[in-house]
Structure 1
C-alpha cells in the first residue's frame, strides 16, 4: 500500500536527480524524416557521435533526445552529421514546421500509392496471363510481349512509387543501420535486374509483378503509420492554442495599447481585465481580483490576486483588474517548460516498438545471408546464374517482412473506427499495448471526476424567507457573474427562475457582489464580508462553498454548494474496483476538497494526494510506476505532463485541446468508458502479439523453402501477400471484440 507520506518523500528524493538529468540532456527537432527507418538511421548515427551517451529519435514526433554524461556534445557537429545523412537537425522545436512536414509526407505517400495501384493493376494483368500460359491460356509467341508489357506498366511504380524506399535504404545502409527499406530496395532492384536481363535474352520469366506488389503493400503500411504521426506536434502546438498572442500594455502616453506577446521583455508592465486570459507569466504590481488557475494547477476555487502574487500564462482573470510585471517571456513561461517536458517524454519508445525494432534488426541480416546462400546453393547444383539469382530474389521477396510492418497498424486501424463511434478516441497506438498491464488508475479531480461548476447542496433561508425567494435573490445579485459559484447557481435553477437584470452590480474581488436596484441594496458573498457591511449573521462555520445573502441590511440566508460529480464517475470507480485495480485521487486542490470527494467516490484516504503541481503529479506517477503499472485520467493543462508520462494517459470530458492530444486515449463524452477502454486494450495487445507471431512463423517456415529453390519469385510475392492478408483477417477480430467488451462494460 502506498501512503501519502512515503510517496511524497519519494517524490522529494527524486526531484534533485531529475533536475541533474535535465541538465545533461537536450531535445532537438529532426526535419526530413519520412518513415521509421529514417529515425533508426539517425538514432544510430547520433549514438556514434563524441560525448553522446544515449540518443533516441521519435519519428512520430520529429524529435531527437540527446543525453550526455560530462561534456556536452558539439551541436554544430551533430547538425553536420545529420545533414550528411540527408536530414536537418534544429535546436528549437517548431510544431508548425513539423505539421507541415508530416502533411507533405502524407500527400506524397497518397500520390505514390495511387500511382502504384493504377499502374500496378495494369502490370499485373499480363503477369496473370503468363501464370495461366501452362494451361493453354496464351500462345507461346505472345508470352514475351506480355512480359514486356508487364515491365513497361511497372516503370512508374518502380521509378516513382518506390523511389523513397531506395533513398532511405541507401541512407540507413550508410549509417550502418539497415532496415526494412534496405531489404525492400534489394528485393526490388534484384527483381528488376533479373527481369530486364530475361527480356534481353528473349525470355518471358519476369518478376516485375512481385516488385510492384512489394512496393504497393509497403506504401499501404507507411500510409497507415503516418495517420498517427501528428500526435506529438499537435500536443506541443495545442498547448498554445488557448494562449492569447497579444497583451495590453501602457504606451509612452500612458494609454493602454495592444502588443504582440513575443515582443515584450522582462520587467514590462501589462494590464489584465476581467474575462481575459494571461499571455505571459507575471507578478501582480497593483490591483486586486480573482483568477481561475485550474488550467495549470487544478484548484477548483478561484484564487485571490493581490500585489506580490504570481499569475501564470494560461490563467483567466474572473474579477477585478490587475497590473502585472512580466517575469517570463514567450519561450520561458511555465507553459513553455511544460510543453518542452512533454516533448521529451514523447521521445521514449514503448516496449512493443522496441521489440519490433529488435526483430527487424535481427531478421534483415538473416534474410540477406539466406538470399546469398540460396544463390550459392543453386549454382553448386548446376543451375544457370540467372536461375540462381531468381531463387535469391524469391528469398528476398518471400521473406520481406510486410506482415511484420503491418502487424501493429492493422490492429489500430481496425479498432479505431468502432472505438470512435462509441466515444473512445485513440490518439496513440502504444495505448493498446500499454493498457494491457494496467493495475492502478490515478484520477485527477477537478474537471475529471467533477464538473467545472459546483451544484447546490442545501438551501438555508433565514426566518421570513423561503427557498424559492432566496434562490431568486441570489440569481438577481449574481446575474452575469463569471464566478464558478454563480455559474453553478445559474446551471441549477436557470430553468425555473429568471433573474432581474436592472440595477447596478459591483463585484468585490474575493469577497462578494453588491446589487443596487430600486428595491434597495442586496449582498451576496462571504460571511465575514457581510459582517463588515454591517449585516448581523448567526454563528456560521464557513467552509468556502457557502454563499451568504442579505437584503436591505438584513440577513436572508445561505446556499451551500458542493462539487458536482461527473455523470458516471461513481460507477466508473466501482467498475475499476471490481476489476481488481487500485484507484488513486491526485489533485492540485485542497485536502478538504479532495477528502470530501474521495468519501463520495469510495476511494480510500490513503490513496488521496492533494495540492500537487503539474511537475509533482508527473513525479507522483513516475514514483508509483516503480511498483505499479499506471493509467492516469485527467482533463486540464495541468495534467498534460502526467498524461504524457504515464504508461497510459486518458483525457476525459471537455479536455483542453493540448490535454486531449497529450493523452493516448481521449473520452470526450463519458468517463464511464474508462473500464471498457482498458478491457479493449488488453485484447488489442493480444492481437498485436498474435500478428507478430504469425509474421515471424511465416518467415521461419518459408525462408528455408525459398533457399532450396522450392518457391518461385511470383509464388513468393503471392505468399508475402497472403501473409499480410492473414494479419488483416486476424486484426478484423478487433471489431467483434470491441463491441462485445463495450457492451459488457455498459
Structure 2
C-alpha cells in the first residue's frame, strides 16, 4: 500500500509523468534506474497511468538530471502529469500494436505454410530438392514480421538490458535473434533446417498478449484528467459581467456563484445565503443551508440562492487537487502477482543463457559439429521462451471479459482480480450505491379536509419548478400528474417554497417555517428529516414523509456476501439518522454503520482497515475517489462520476447487486492465473534439462513452446 500521510507526501514526494513507455518492462527498468539516482529514496512507476512517484528525504533531487537520465533510455520525463498527452499516447500505442499484429498475422501465415511443408518432408509431402527453396520462402515472408512487428520488443528489450533489468522483452529479443541468425547461417550452408517460423510465432503471440494488456490497463491513464474534468475552468469575479479563467485569480479574490452553478475554487462565503448540494464532496444526500462564514469546496453546486465567496485555494491547491494527488500516489502500487512475474522474468534470462551456453559447450566437448552445437543451444533458447508466462494473466482476463460485460462488469486494472479474490471486508457508500439519489415517498398523512391524492397534487403544484431532491421524488411518484404552472413560485433557501395562485397561497417546507408564518403544525417530524409539511390558504394540509429508495437486489446482495464469509459495513457522509434508517431496512446493526464521514475520514478508515485485512470499497461519488484508490479493491457502481470510475479497479454498470458475483468470479480467475504461471514455470524447469541433454531438437522445441502456450490457453478457457 502507498503511504496515506498527506502531509509527508506533499513534502517528500512528487508525481511526474513519463512519456514513451511501451510495456511493464519499461516501467520496471525506469524504476530501477530512478532509484539509483542521487537523492532519490523511492521510485514507483505505473505504466498504465504514465506516472511515476519520486520520493526523497531531505533535499529534493535535481529533476533536470532525472530528465537527462530518463531521456538516455528513450523516454521523456514531465514534472507534472498531462492527461491529454497521456490519452494521445495511449491511443497511438494501441493503434501501432494493432498494425504490428495485423502484419504479423498476415505475413506470419505465409511464413508458416512453407515451413510446415518442410516439417512434413519425412512423410513424403515434398521432394528433397524443394526443401531449401521452401525454407528460403519461409524466411522471406518472415521479413516484415521480423523488421516491423518485432521492433516493439527489440527496443524495449535493449532498453531494459541497458538499465540492468532484463525482462520478457529481453528474452523475446534474444530468442528471435538466435532463431534468425542460425536460420540465415543454415541457408548459407545449403541446409533447410531453419527456424523463421519460431521467431514469427514468438512475435505474434507476444503482440497479441501486449495488445490485450494495453487495452485493459491503459484506462487508468485518464484518472487524474477525469478528476479535474468535474470542475469548471472559469469563474465570475465580483462586480464583473464576464467570466475569467480560474488560474488568473489569487487567494482573497472574490467571486460570485448563482443558483445552478458549480463552484470551481475553494472559498469562504462572505455574503448571501443559499442551499448547497455538496454530495460530490461529502456524500450528503440532502442539500444544506449555507450562510456567511461557511467554507465551501470546489465541486459543490449551489441549488438555490446567490452568494459571494473569498477564494481560499486556487487551481492546484484545492481540496480536490489534494485528493487527486492522493489517488495518483496510490495508483503507483503493484500487485503481488505482478511483482512475482517481474522477478521471475528478471531471473529467467541469466538461467536460460547459462543453460544454452552449457548445452552448446556440451556438444562441442563431445566432439560434435558447430552446426549441431548451435542447434542445441537454439533449442534451449526457443523451448524456454516465456511466451506462456507472459500470456498467463491476460488470457484469463480476455477470455472471461465477454462474460463480465454481459453482467455489466468492467475491469479497469489487471491487479483488480488478485485483490478481489482475497476480500474479507466490503465497505459500501450509502447514497447512490445502496440507495437511489431520488427520495421515495414513505407515507402520507393528510389533514382532515385533504386526501392522499389532493395532498400529492398540492405538493406537485408548489414544487413545480423546484430542483430539490424532494421535488424529484414527487415527480417520480406522479409520472402522469399534471402540475398547475400558473401563479408565482418563490423559493426560500433552507426553508421551503411558496406558491401564490388565483386560488390563494400554498406552502411546502419545514415545520418551523410554516409555524413562523402562523400555521399550526402537529408535533410530528420524520426521523431522518426528509419530511415535507404543506399548508393551503393558512390551514395545515398535511405532510409527506420521504425515505431513500433502496436499489433493486441490495438486500439479497448483502446476504450473499455474508454467506461467502465476508464482513459488511456502510461508510457514508450522510447523517447518522439517515444511515441507520437504511441499515434497519437492510437488516444491519449499528456496529456496521459509520456515518457523517468526510472524504479524508473515509480514506483514513479504509487505510486503517487495509492494514489488517483485505478490504473492498464500493461507491459512486467523487468524494469516494480517495477511498476507492486506498482500498485493496475499488468498485465503482451505477452512474458514477468519470473521476470515480477512473479511480476504481472495477466498474459495475448495473449497480452494487453484482458485487458477490464479481468477487466469486475473481477468485476463480486468480486461481486459473496461478495455475497458468505454475504450469509455465514447471514447463521450463522440466524442459531446460531435457533440451540441455539434447533430447529436444529445435523443431521439436518450437512445437513444445507452442504446446506450452496452448496448455495455458486451454486452462484459461475454463474461466468461461
Bin the TM-score by the shorter chain: over 0.9
The verdict on how the C-alpha distance between 1:493 and 1:268 changes in structure 2, with shifts beyond 3 A counting, is same
RMSD: 1.7
The count of corresponding residues between Structure 1 and Structure 2 is 718
Distance 2:655 2:317 in 1: 36
- Which residue in the other structure is 2:236 paired with? 248
Where in structure 1 are there 5+ consecutive unaligned residues?
Answer: 1-13, 736-746
Measured in 1, the distance between the counterparts of 2:4 and 2:209 equals 43
Given that 2:408 and 2:654 are in contact with CA atoms closer than 8 Å, whether structure 1 keeps it comes out as yes
Match of 1:504 among 479, 488, 492: 488
Where 1:479 maps in the other structure, the secondary structure is coil
Q: Which residue of 2 aligns with 1:731?
A: 716
Alignment of 1:466-545 (within 5 A): 466-495=451-480, 497-541=481-525, 543=527, 544-545=529-530
Asked if 1:182 is matched to 2:167, the reply is: no
Equivalent residue, structure 1, for 2:664: 679
- Indicate if the aligned counterparts of 2:525 and 2:531 stay in contact, CA closer than 8 A: no
Q: Deviation per CA, 1:677-715: give whole Å up to 9, x if none.
A: 111111111111111111111111111111122222222
Compared CA separation, residues 418 and 541, structure 1 to 2 (3 A): closer
2:625 pairs, out of 618, 625, 640, with 640
Q: Which residue does 1:220 correspond to in 2?
A: 208
Q: Indicate the residue corresponding to 2:114 in structure 1.
A: 126
Aligned partner of 2:59 in structure 1 is 71
Q: Which segments of 5 or more consecutive residues in structure 2 lack a partner in the other structure?
A: none
Pick which of 125-134 and 413-422 moved more.
125-134
8 Å contact from structure 1 (residues 214, 397) kept in 2: no
Out of 579, 587, 592, the residue aligned to residue 602 of structure 1 is 587
Counterpart pick for 2:648 among 650, 655, 663? 663
CA, structure 1 residues 51+542, in 2 after alignment: closer, same or farther (shift >3 Å)?
same
Deviation at 1:725, TM superposition (A): 1.3
Q: Is the counterpart of residue 620 in structure 1 residue 605 in structure 2? A: yes
Whether 1:651 aligns to 2:639 is no
1:242-287 deviations in Å (ceiling 9; x for gaps)? 322332334xxx4421223333333333222212222222222222
| Structure-1 separation of matches of 2:4 and 2:115 | 66
The residue aligned with 2:541 is: 556
Moved more, 268-277 or 181-190: 268-277
Deviations 1:311-332 (A, max 9, x none): 2222111111122222222222
1:45 aligns with 2:30: no
Q: Secondary structure at the match of 1:204?
A: coil
Alignment of 1:325-724 (within 5 A): 325-495=310-480, 497-541=481-525, 543=527, 544-724=529-709
1:58 maps to 46
| Structure 1 counterpart SS, 2:636 | strand
Cα distance in structure 2, aligned partners of 1:41 and 1:626 = 29
Q: Which string of whole-angstrom CA distances, capped at 9 and with x for unpartnered residues, describes residues 435-460 of structure 1?
A: 11111111111111111121111211
For each residue in 1:5-49, what CA deviation from the matched residue of structure 2 results, as whole angstroms up to 9, or x when unmatched? Answer: xxxxxxxxx999553244222211111100111111101101111
User: Which one of 106, 111, 126 corresponds to residue 99 of structure 2?
Assistant: 111
Contact 1:191 1:390 in 2 (8 A): no
CA shift in 2, pair 1:660/1:273, >3 Å: same
Partner of residue 210 from structure 1, selected from 195, 198, 204: 198
**For 1:499-552, what per-residue CA distance to the aligned partner results, in whole angstroms no more than 9, with x for missing partners?**
111111011011111111101111111111112222222333464211111111
1:83-122 matches, within 5 Å, as 83-122=71-110
What TM-score comes out, normalization by structure 2 length?
A: 0.97
Aligned to 2:189: 201
Partner of 1:6: none
SS at match of 1:564: strand
TM-score, normalising length from structure 1?
0.94
| Structure 1 residues 16 and 352: alpha-carbon distance in aligned structure 2, compared to 1, 3 A threshold | closer
Q: Would the aligned equivalents of 2:86 and 2:222 in 1 still touch at CA under 8 Å?
A: no
CA contact (8 A) 1:280 1:330 kept: yes
Tell me the residue number matched to 1:743: none
Match of 1:259 in 2: 244
Secondary structure at the counterpart of residue 250 of structure 2 = coil
- Whether the 8 Å CA contact 2:220–2:412 is kept in 1: the answer is no
CA distance in 2, matches of 1:198, 1:653: 61
Native 8 Å contact 2:4 2:607 kept in 1: no
Aligned residues of 1:546 and 1:559 also touching (Cα < 8 A): yes
Please give the per-residue CA displacement for 1:159-183, whole angstroms capped at 9, x wherever unaligned: 1111121111111111111111111
CA distance in 1, matches of 2:619, 2:100: 40
Give the superposition deviation at 1:82: 0.8
